[in-house]
Amino acid sequence: MIIVVMGVSGSGKTTIGKLLAAKLSLPFFDADDFHPDFNVKKMASGIPLDDLDRQPWLEKLAQHIIDWEQHKGAVLACSALKEKYRQILGSNKKINWIYLDGNKDLIGNRMQARLGHYMKAGLLDSQFEALEIPSYGIHAPIERDPQSIIQHILQALNIHQNLSEIGILGMGVMGKSLALNCAEKGIKTAIYNRHVPGKEEKIAQNVVKDNPQMRHLIPFDELQVFLHNLEVPRKILLMIPAGEAVDQQIQQLIPFLEDGDVIIDGGNSHYEDSSRRAAFLEKNGLRFVAMGVSGGEEGARKGPSMMPGGDREAVKGLLPIFEKIAAKNTNGEPCVAYIGPEGSGHFVKMVHNSIEYGEMQLLAEVYGLMRYYFAMHPPQIAEILEQWLNQGESSYLLEITIDIMRTKEGQEYLLDKILDQAAQKGTGGWSVEAALKHAVPYGPLVEAVMARIISSQKSNRLALSNLYGIQKPKGDFDYSELLEDLKNAYRTVRILNHEIGFSLIKQASDDHKWSLDLAKIAGIWTNGCIIRSDLMMKLSTLLDENSYILEMDDYVSLLRSDHKSLGKVISASINAGVAIPVMSAAFQYFLGRVTASSSANLIQAQRDYFGAHTYQRVDKGPDEYFHTEWKKSGD
């Protein structure tokens, strides 16, 4: 299909031509780019072209039109004011003419608004003098906004719009993988990546070029055109870095969106930012969905676990798409569901990551003990972990750890080559803040964050290790009994890590009145996400009846016996000088939670001693507070 958008200067040929090209997935060309050098020089020196000058230019364009027609087709913006010019370009059978129809006042005013001044005196007059309005083609009145003009043209061309069901903005690893996942599931997906000269060029186009089999992907690098290609209400999934970039992107989108359009933030945004954005967008007539997405690159590509929260109606409209691309649980149901209002989707993802940090650090501690205390080699460790995996401790993180243990680089194990400095992007720390805010005991998961921080201070650790000379243990002892304890300890800490994470979700849900469904959340986490495991599968049923994991019959009997194994592992590790912060904190957490009479009576006494903060008494009622003049009574 060849379309020529024609009209006087300032009538909007480039804007309309580009939008039309994008709608129809055709390349766009501007006739001015095809002038021979001679014409360019002449125009640059301010001399108007005559018909003799135009002849070779128009003939060249006619030749291109023949070529374009034989390939994909094209949209050409060309003033083509006179009938004889149009004759040179080609027959009316071949070309669909679109005449942009506006009067001199309208165009003059628009030019003034755009350029801040009127066109050079006489230029617009001369354009209108030269104009021979075609008696054929589509006459598109230009009083309306570009989108309505496009609708008018498409209707006149009798073209059904081929709009996309969803638009994904940001073609980083996660955005691209989700886009390919959508396209593979037959979802018509518009993809957009910003154009940054020299840095980010043709990113979306290259995704399509690299995946020619993905017929449902349509690439854009012009925001407005991308948005015009989405079904209304538009669904725009932001896959960009969390933080300020999200606010900036939302600001850029707002002027082009209409009431009811939906913005989805699929990044790891802070839940308070998401609650703020939800309220802000609602005021602007737009819908906002804050969605946690877990599973990394592979998950996004093949089936992630998805936690959409915010506008319930908007999520309802999105679920048919998300259910197609999400991972499936063992019953074949998609690992995606509406989480709750405001930023709760991102809150839940943040806690997911906090458990992820805890589970990763726990595995690192298990590995550290086996490698340095038991002096086992990575493949031996892999073998033991594989046994655990097959004995009911299966999890994605355990699986990948086993793979990592077996990965070699030449003759050596790759793991031995990796610098022991853990990085982080913040979600673990945000959970710690949230735990403080909601007064939820969070020790082991706090320690997982702190362990990363300590690990990152490598040079300081090196200096201090020389100063203190703590030696690595030798491993020359029979560790078989301790190995069994280690397995039980691992199982115990995992239960506690999950207990702590779900407690935070429960407390935040109560405090914010979010009504979050813990069993449903665990269900979403049974596949696709990083913390999927056998344990999570059990929790997805058990949490339906009881929100408190420490009270569940299955775990009460297990923890009653296994916490002793944890104690043995901790004391052996401490004696050997091996740091195991998450295991130790988990044990303290457990003891703290299950101890009826604590030593906090002393804390209260101290507070009252130096600050007259008062205390309650075991032999008095709960509303009675006492103060003692300690010095005097001690005399």
Q: Which residues are catalytic?
A: 349, 356
Beta-bridge partners for 141: 101
- 450 φ/ψ angles, rounded to the nearest 5 degrees: -65, -35
HSE at residue 97, side-chain half, CA atoms within 13 A, is 23
One symbol per residue from 530 to 569: x for binding ligand 6PG (CB under 6 A), - otherwise; what is it? Answer: x---------------------------------------
Token readout for 24 is: 């129809």
Q: Which one, 357 or 388, has the nearer CB to ligand 6PG? A: 357
The dihedral through the CA atoms of 294, 295, 300, 302 has a sign that is negative
Please give the size of the binding site for ligand 6PG, defined by CB under 6 A.
12
Give the residue from 448, 564, 541 showing the smallest Cα distance to 497. Answer: 448
Quote the least distance from Cβ 576 to ligand 6PG, whole Å.
28
Q: Does 353 bind ligand 6PG (CB under 6 A)?
A: yes
Contact 140, 100 (CB under 8 A): yes
Q: Does 246 bind ligand 6PG (CB under 6 A)?
A: no
**Omega prior to 233 cis, within 30 of 0:** yes
Q: Does 356 bind ligand 6PG (CB under 6 A)?
A: yes
Q: Which one, 344 or 565, has the nearer CB to ligand 6PG? A: 344
Q: Does 224 bind ligand 6PG (CB under 6 A)?
A: no
Give the residue from 361, 386, 591, 366 showing the smallest Cα distance to 482. Answer: 366
Q: Does 424 bind ligand 6PG (CB under 6 A)?
A: yes
Contact 626, 615 (CB under 8 A): yes
Quote the least distance from Cβ 542 to ligand 6PG, whole Å.
23
Scanning 513-611, the segments in alpha helix (DSSP H) are: 518-524, 534-545, 553-576, 581-594, 600-611
Q: Does 268 bind ligand 6PG (CB under 6 A)?
A: yes
- Pick from 377, 425, 472, 627 the residue near ligand 6PG by CB under 6 A: 425
Q: Which one, 423 or 602, has the nearer CB to ligand 6PG? A: 423
- Pick from 427, 455, 497, 509 the residue near ligand 6PG by CB under 6 A: 427
Binding part of the chain for ligand 6PG, among 288-296, 316-324, 472-480, 495-503 by CB under 6 A, reads 288-296
Q: Does 291 bind ligand 6PG (CB under 6 A)?
A: no
Binding part of the chain for ligand 6PG, among 126-134, 212-220, 320-328, 417-425 by CB under 6 A, reads 417-425
Quote the least distance from Cβ 431 to ligand 6PG, whole Å.
11
β pairing state of 235-238 and 189-192:
unpaired
Contact 496, 489 (CB under 8 A): no
- 263 φ/ψ angles, rounded to the nearest 5 degrees: -105, 130
Q: Does 529 bind ligand 6PG (CB under 6 A)?
A: yes
Token readout for 409 is: 């680089």
Q: Which one, 53 or 272, has the nearer CB to ligand 6PG? A: 272
Binding part of the chain for ligand 6PG, among 224-232, 290-298, 410-418, 567-575 by CB under 6 A, reads 290-298
Scanning 414-552, the segments in alpha helix (DSSP H) are: 414-417, 427-437, 443-456, 458-468, 480-512, 518-524, 534-545
Distance (Å, whole) CA 160 – CA 626: 80
Quote the least distance from Cβ 188 to ligand 6PG, whole Å.
26
Quote the least distance from Cβ 241 to ligand 6PG, whole Å.
11
Quote the least distance from Cβ 298 to ligand 6PG, whole Å.
9
Q: Does 437 bind ligand 6PG (CB under 6 A)?
A: no
Token readout for 511 is: 């405090």
- 42 φ/ψ angles, rounded to the nearest 5 degrees: -65, -45
The single-letter DSSP state of residue 343 is T
Q: Which one, 243 or 296, has the nearer CB to ligand 6PG? A: 296
Q: Which one, 292 or 310, has the nearer CB to ligand 6PG? A: 292
Distance (Å, whole) CA 238 – CA 169: 5
Quote the least distance from Cβ 484 to ligand 6PG, whole Å.
31
Among residue numbers 293 through 352, which ones bind ligand 6PG (CB under 6 A)?
Answer: 294-296
Q: Which one, 178 or 253, has the nearer CB to ligand 6PG? A: 178
Give helix 427-437 / helix 480-512 axis angle, nearest 10°: 60
- 133 φ/ψ angles, rounded to the nearest 5 degrees: -65, 130
Q: Which one, 204 or 529, has the nearer CB to ligand 6PG? A: 529
Quote the least distance from Cβ 267 to ligand 6PG, whole Å.
9
Which strand (E) or helix (H) includes residue 63?
A: helix 51-70
State the residue number with the nearest CB to ligand 6PG. Answer: 294
Quote the least distance from Cβ 270 to ligand 6PG, whole Å.
12
Q: Which one, 455 or 573, has the nearer CB to ligand 6PG? A: 455
Q: Which one, 346 or 538, has the nearer CB to ligand 6PG? A: 346
Binding part of the chain for ligand 6PG, among 113-121, 291-299, 493-501, 539-547 by CB under 6 A, reads 291-299
Binding part of the chain for ligand 6PG, among 138-146, 292-300, 484-492, 590-598 by CB under 6 A, reads 292-300
Contact 292, 314 (CB under 8 A): no
Q: Exposed, middle or buried: residue 416 (CB in 10 Å: 0-12, 13-18, 19+)?
A: exposed
Binding part of the chain for ligand 6PG, among 72-80, 271-279, 422-430, 441-449 by CB under 6 A, reads 422-430
* Contacts made by residues 482-488, CB under 8 angstroms, sequence distance 24+: 482/374, 482/568, 482/569, 482/572, 483/374, 483/384, 484/565, 485/565, 485/566, 485/568, 485/569, 486/366, 486/369, 486/370, 486/565, 486/569, 487/388, 487/391, 487/393, 487/565, 488/561, 488/562, 488/565, 488/566
Quote the least distance from Cβ 522 to ligand 6PG, whole Å.
15
Q: Which residues form the interface with ligand 6PG (CB under 6 A)?
A: 268, 294-296, 353, 356, 423-425, 427, 529-530
